[in-house]
Amino acid sequence: MVDNIIGSNGLELNATMSQSQLKGLAQDEAHARYHAQLVSEERPPVFRSLAHELTAVIVLTFGASLATSNLGAMLIAMPHMGESFGISGADLSWTISAFSLSSGAFVLLLASIADNVGRKRMVLFAYVWYAIWCLASGFMKKDIVFDVFRGFQGLSGAAATPAAVGIIGATYVPGQRKNRAMATFSAGAPLGFIVGIICGGICTQFISWRAVLFFSTIEYSIFAILVWFSVPDDPHTDWSTMKKNLAKLDYFGALLATSALFMFVFALTQSGAASKGWAEPYVIVLLIVGIITFAMFIFWESKAKNPLMPLYIWRYPGFALCMLVSVCGFMNFMGVLNYHITLFFQDIRGASAILTTAYLVPQAICGVIVNIFAAFTLHLIPGRILMIIALTAFTASALLWALQPIDLIYWAMAFPAICLSVVGADLAYNVANMHTLAAVPRESQSSAAGIFNTIIQLTAAIGIAASTTIVEAAAKRSSHTGVQKLYDSYKAAFWFAVGISAVGLVCSAFLKVGKQGHKAAETDEEKNEEAT
């Protein structure tokens, strides 16, 4: 007879099992014990050592930095791209917003696919896909084709971020260790931005703006290799079940959402470029059809069996208001300030690409400091207080830019404005990201992260479109010429940023977001999971 042993997890172990089978069962038992805890500071058992854990978290962090490194590099190179393609204004804005629009429109679908095919596989796909399309974009001579390829690049941002944050969210149980892992992940945004602007400045100044794209190809090819070797493998996949699950995904919802968002952003962008502005018939038609299509998307999601955006998520306490506050903050940060201050330095102050890079470096350094602060305070300071601080910083930054004289030295107002903007961005990102993950069951965390990152990316695209329209309208009204006319138009965009961040500041006072990573918070999370 074969002897049987009952393991501590209740599983019956057969004495004839192979060593690998016994090892697998032992790992499953360790994972079950770890995830049974409400709060823990232990290293997750999927990591062999601290070095393995750090490597995996850092490599995943570059999923968060993918979009911001791209943004930083392209912002620095943007005036040179305009000269190369012979475009400006709304046409030039598409070189940036095509990435954000594509990324935002497909985040929810790709997050759902990640939950089914495996998050590590999705991160690996995203890095490889990004490297391929950066390489292809670097050879494009026509701006329209370049914009299309930028949209293909944006799919990698849509795939990487929710899958990467889903891996971290599902790997760790709540606690300060998870807070630090999430803060490290959140630091990817400012770190990516500094890599992007440094790369963009050096390549544009000394080689060519196209070299930025070739550098990105090399960079993410290396990261793809590191993902393969360092990130823990996805759980065993039953491919027949996976195919059935993929067939059930909400592809029609994705089509509705993508169509609505493209028409809406295109109408906003073209309203400033069209000869008649808002009086142009196709602009009005696209805007109205886009809004109607988005309403159809919401209705469809309420009826779909497997919705792309589960509407129940919006019912969790504080979630909807937290997203609204994030929209106000990140439209200020990504949709107005980061886009227009780069042009401000180069077009108005006459700064070179490398000097503009130097001007923006403090933003990333402050971002890293803020994320370190967040890592050690999320469990001590209520999220509402941190959000109020974040929106105050957003508003103050925009106000400094709006009031800044045309010839004032950098250190007087530009420097503190740059630092304050990233204080707002990184505090808001940490609080909103942690609250999003705490609101849903572990198996849906990629989808929840997808909703948050959809909002961030689309906020950037809509903010760029709206602020570009405001700039072009202000330029037409300005009685000045040359640099002074540009200055007047950029100030209008900065006042727009003041307005939207002030709305967010008022709303943040009513948030109900508590501390993250302590026992009381996790009791609430348990209730949320049961409610789901």
- For 51-70, give the DSSP string: HHHHHHHHHHHHHHHHHHHH
Q: 3-class DSSP state for residue 14?
A: strand
Q: How confident is the model at residue 526 (pLDDT cuts 50, 70, 90)?
A: very low
Give this prediction's pTM: 0.74
When mean pLDDT is compared across 60-69, 177-186, 201-210, the lowest value belongs to 177-186
DSSP assigned state of 173: P
Task: Give 287-327 pLDDT, tens digit per residue.
Answer: 899 899 989 999 998 888 878 777 777 777 677 888 888 88
Q: How confident is the model at residue 20 (pLDDT cuts 50, 70, 90)?
A: low
* pLDDT score at 8: 47
The first and second tokens of residue 280, run together, are 């142009």
Q: What is the CA radius of gyration of the chain?
A: 24
For residue 532, the tally of other CB atoms under 10 A from its CB is 13
Residue 118 one-letter amino acid: G
Residue 285 phi, psi (nearest 5): -60, -45
Mean residue pLDDT of the chain comes to 79
Contact 4, 12 (CB under 8 A): yes
Q: How confident is the model at residue 525 (pLDDT cuts 50, 70, 90)?
A: very low
- For 70-137, give the DSSP string: HHHHHHHHHHHHHHHHT--HHHHHHHHHHHHHHHHHHHHHHHHHHHHH-HHHHHHHHHHHHHHHHHHH
Contact 342, 360 (CB under 8 A): yes
Task: Give 366-400 pLDDT, tens digit per residue.
Answer: 877 887 787 777 777 777 788 899 999 999 999 99
Residues of the chain with pLDDT > 70, as a percent, come to 82
* pLDDT score at 522: 45
Contact 57, 45 (CB under 8 A): no
Q: What gap in Å lies between CA 156 and CA 129, rounded to an integer? A: 6
* pLDDT score at 528: 45
pLDDT at 529 over 50: no
Range 204-228 average pLDDT: 90
The first and second tokens of residue 97, run together, are 């917003």
Identify the CA nearest to 175 among candidates 465, 434, 480, 500.
434
Contact 34, 156 (CB under 8 A): no
Range 234-258 average pLDDT: 79
* pLDDT score at 14: 54
pLDDT at 30 over 70: no
* pLDDT score at 296: 92
Q: What gap in Å lies between CA 156 and CA 114, rounded to an integer? A: 12
Range 195-216 average pLDDT: 88
Q: 3-class DSSP state for residue 342?
A: helix
